[in-house]
Amino acid sequence: MVKVVEHKGFNLVTVDSGFEIKAKKIIYCVGYESKNLLKESFVNLKSTYAVVSEIDNDKFKNIGSTLVWNTDDPYLYMRTTDDGRLLIGGGDEDFYDAEKRDAILHKKEKEILKTLNTIKPDYHFYTDFVWAGTFGETKDGLPYIGAHEKFKNSYFVLGFGGNGITFSVIGMEMASMFMKNKKHPLSRYFKFGR
Ligand SMILES: Cc1cc2nc3c(=O)[nH]c(=O)nc-3n(C[C@H](O)[C@H](O)[C@H](O)COP(=O)(O)OP(=O)(O)OC[C@H]3O[C@@H](n4cnc5c(N)ncnc54)[C@H](O)[C@@H]3O)c2cc1C
């Protein structure tokens, strides 16, 4: 989606192939790109890091389905995967510049594995992949889901937060209710300008 022109009763959307879509309603679920659409300050973008080990079904047997999230700042979380890997994440930084973020990938990998070593000194962790991503933090940890006064015939579903994926199910329910002109009880907690 590269351009939206508002008309009476509908929006005209241009997509990157040049085609136009006439839409009665638009649901913007564009993640942190919404920061370029909305003028107000509503989300703080950060960088986060994750490391996953090689497959080793024997080594991780004893931690099986354990899920860890510590109370440190920045936090560290870890769990095993179905295919026998240990996945660890954390090392959050307060900036989101992608080049700057990726330049310290291996420094972050070392930091995360050093912390793992203090928790589980007997584990020899063999890194398979390491990656980073941008995520959004809001003032109250809740997503922004609902209409915005500047965007006619439109709704936003922005699942920000460290638990943003869980908000996607609620967002789906809410969006389908909005489309039927129904209200949702959580709207007041997730609305813009709250
Ligand atoms: C490393 C990492 C680990 C995470 N771990 C967890 C976790 O364990 N649990 C959890 O709940 N959350 C986690 N999160 C957060 C979670 O990923 C986000 O909160 C969630 O993905 C937000 O969902 P969203 O649909 O709002 O946005 P996104 O998932 O960012 O989706 C937005 C989509 O819109 C597309 N888009 C943007 N602009 C346009 C445009 N103009 N036209 C067309 N498409 C567009 C983007 O390409 C993207 O695919 C993690 C995030 C990261 C980076």
Helices within 24-158 (DSSP H only): 98-103, 105-119
pLDDT at site 120: 87
pTM to 2 decimal places: 0.88
C-alpha 108/C-alpha 131 separation (Å) is 10
Q: What is the pLDDT of residues 112-154, one digit of tens each?
A: 999 999 988 988 899 999 999 999 999 999 999 999 999 999 9
pLDDT at site 73: 85
1 lines ligand 1 (CB under 6 A): yes
81 lines ligand 1 (CB under 6 A): no
Nearest CA to ligand 1 atom 30: 31
Q: What is the pLDDT of residues 52-105, one digit of tens each?
A: 999 987 776 667 777 899 999 888 999 998 888 999 999 999 999 999 999 999
Q: Around 20, how many Cα atoms within 13 Å sit in the side-chain half-sphere? A: 7
Measure 48 CA to ligand 1 centroid, in angstroms: 12
Q: What is the pLDDT of residues 27-49, one digit of tens each?
A: 999 999 999 999 999 999 999 99
pLDDT at site 179: 93
